[in-house]
Amino acid sequence: MKLKYILIVACSLFTLTGRADEGMWMLGNLNKQTRKAMKELGLQMPADKLYNPKKPSLKDAVVSFGGFCSGVVVSEDGLVFTNHHCGFSSVQQHSSVEHDYLKNGFVAHSRAEELPNPELYVRFLLRTEDVTKRVLGAVKPSMSEMERSSAVDSMMMVIGGEVSLKDSTLLGVVDAYYGGNEFWLSVYRDFNDVRLVFAPPSSVGKFGWDTDNWIWPRHTGDFCVFRIYADRKNRPADYSPDNVPYHPEYVAPISLDGYKEGSFCMTIGYPGSTERYLSSFGIEEMMNNSNQAQIDIRGVKQAIWKREMDSKDSIRIKYASKYDESSNYWKNSIGVNRAIRKLGILDKKREMEQEIRRWIQQNPEEREKLLQLFTDLELNYKNRREVNRAQAYFIESFLYGPELVQLALKILNFDFEGEQKAVIAGLKDIVEQYSNLDLDIDKEVFTALLKEYRSKVDTTFLPEIYHTIAQKYDGNEKAFVDSLYASSELTTPRGLKRFLERDTTYQIFDDPAISLGIDMLTMLFDMNMQTQAPTTEIIRGERLLNGAIRRMYASRNFYPDANSTMRLSFGTVCGYTPFDGAEYDYYTTTKGVLEKVKAHVGDVDFAVQPELVSLLSSRNFGRYADEKGEMKVCFISNNDITGGNSGSAMFNSKGELLGLAFDGNWEAMSSDILYEPKMQRTIGVDVRYILFMIEKYGKAGNLIKELNIIN
């Protein structure tokens, strides 16, 4: 016990002094300070084995999965490990009441059984390049903020476009870093033929569901397996039965050695976005507006969905993916607001801003440029506060709410004259949404959200439909919704079909759902215009603040906010103390799965198939057991991650795969704004549990044989 306590304290002390665990570092821009910190912490690989644009390196095994998650290549034939929740929509699309892959899982025992996913792609990073001078070369001192933004955007597009002109298989993307003070080009290659190979049942991949989401201790086997296909020359190709498995530049080796308290651990993936440099005014706005809108509106919508999903399997399958996506960020918003208050994040930010104010006052050069920085930021956030709040509720209530409105807007904005491939993919997406739509549920959601929106905003921000409801339907929202759905042709694909076939008896712009969609877009445009001036000044102020922070603390080792580009974070495997009197260990085992099943009898979030209970109870773990004969399920490290990192590879000091990152912990939900070294933890699923489930539960030994397993 004493040794364990010493290790936890040591982990915390290292965080407070070296802070090597904080940061989402660019692999192509690792400075000496960062490389030294990694080596001191235990890394046994040279930097050019992590990232090398000219030779195969570890970064070549890491992919952006669909643009919303991460993944890792683990076989010479293109197998990719990612999270179950990242592959959830693909599993759902292939599921039916007869073939319920969500409930029972899916196993392809041969290549012929692997299932295509036309909407899915994986993206490999080839190289990065600093293009700051070239981008900012287009900026003139006399430009306004809007002119500056336009010039920067144009140059970013030009630089990115040059990559594809030289090689049509490549994609160039220029991203802004440090609030728009730096710009880097990333060169990618995308593969569009990605097939589902293995998915555990949701009782494994989603074990704990909403109850355990963002919570440690965790016992979720959050993994899924896909395969990348290419043409016979190993080049990107759209789906074809003639395609063959892709042979990658680099394959991640897999370790069965596991980890101990204090073991080095690094995570490589594609984190979405963080706001570590955001002002206290911006954080306050985020809490009260966008976060609170998600909490209030999604809570209403999801309660209706969940009730119907629990009552009928066909509805569960239709709504599983969209419920999962919606509820994930709903609970995230609850946790973020809670953590901001509990950890005093706003007070910490304001204290730092007071230091910057004093520094500005004490430095003539800075005082001349930034004397009004915080005054202007405060004023501009105040000037857009009410409209911004209403806009957040408006978007959640109507643009992300009733699916009839979503479909009307998709059709309204559809580019029917676009490239054939894009048109076909877009139409398939619309048809897919129709196939997963239940009109009675959607009507109930629409009615409930009309009431909820009105209760949350000032009457100034009510769209025209509320006047119609009051005048024509005596204030009865349900009557309005029933009438809308009864009179619109867009409640089924029939209206779209009539429009595409140029049916002269159907004018799509006269359809009430389209008319409603146009009204919604018009109001959203009006809201944007009302906030345009303060928003432009806020962008400028936040960029200037970002630059000032880096100048004031010039001796510190800064990293840029996450922006969906490849990043590395590193630290150690270690537990933590969430509150006084409690101590969390750094791993969980299958014993905890069985305990939760027994403790939550009748709770669908913890329901597990009898055959899985029997398998885990047998303790026949084979070579996947740890040194005590236990099967570890999940583990935690103090790596720095955020949304988009789901599915990210978690490597040991030798670059061998330990597991997949899939979540953060409830006590540090404010981590996108401020890293909390004592609290923040990355939750990963142990690769040995993944392999055990594939081999012993899925009986897919053929997949195990493909892997480079290091004993």
Asked if the bond preceding 463 is cis, omega within 30° of 0, the reply is no
Burial class of residue 698 (count of CB atoms within 10 Å of its CB; 0-12, 13-18, 19+): buried
Q: CA 490, CA 411: separation in Å to the nearest integer?
A: 9
Q: Angle, to 10 degrees, between the axis of helix 439-456 and the axis of helix 299-311?
A: 160
Q: What is the H or E stretch that residue 651 is in?
A: strand 649-651
Burial class of residue 339 (count of CB atoms within 10 Å of its CB; 0-12, 13-18, 19+): buried
Checking 421-428 for CB contacts under 8 A at 24+ apart, the result is 421/238, 425/118, 425/119, 428/118, 428/119
Write the Ramachandran bin of 524: left for phi over 0, alpha for psi from -120 to 50, otherwise beta: alpha
* Annotated catalytic residue, options 75, 85, 203, 219: 85
Q: What are phi and psi of 697, to 5 degrees?
A: -90, -45
Q: How many residues does the chain have?
A: 711
Q: CA 62, CA 70: separation in Å to the nearest integer?
A: 7
Beta strand 115-116 pairing with 193-199:
antiparallel
Annotate 547-613 with DSSP letters as a single string. Answer: HHHHHHTTTS---PPP-SS-EEEEEEB--B--STT--B-SEEEHHHHHHHHHHTTT-GGG---HHHH
Q: Name 702's Cβ contacts closer than 8 Å, sequence gap at least 6.
A: 109, 110
Q: What's the half-sphere exposure (Cβ side, CA atoms, 13 Å) at 251?
A: 18
Q: Angle, to 10 degrees, between the axis of helix 512-552 and the axis of helix 345-362?
A: 50
Using alpha carbons, select from 328, 294, 325, 339 the residue that is nearest to residue 452: 294
* Annotated catalytic residue, options 222, 561, 672, 686: 222
Catalytic site includes residue 646:
yes
Burial class of residue 268 (count of CB atoms within 10 Å of its CB; 0-12, 13-18, 19+): buried
Can you tell me whether residue 275 is helix, strand or coil? coil
* Annotated catalytic residue, options 646, 648, 653, 671: 646
Q: CA 711, CA 216: separation in Å to the nearest integer?
A: 29
Catalytic site includes residue 222:
yes
Q: Name 460's Cβ contacts closer than 8 Å, sequence gap at least 6.
A: 390
Q: Which residues are catalytic?
A: 85, 222, 646
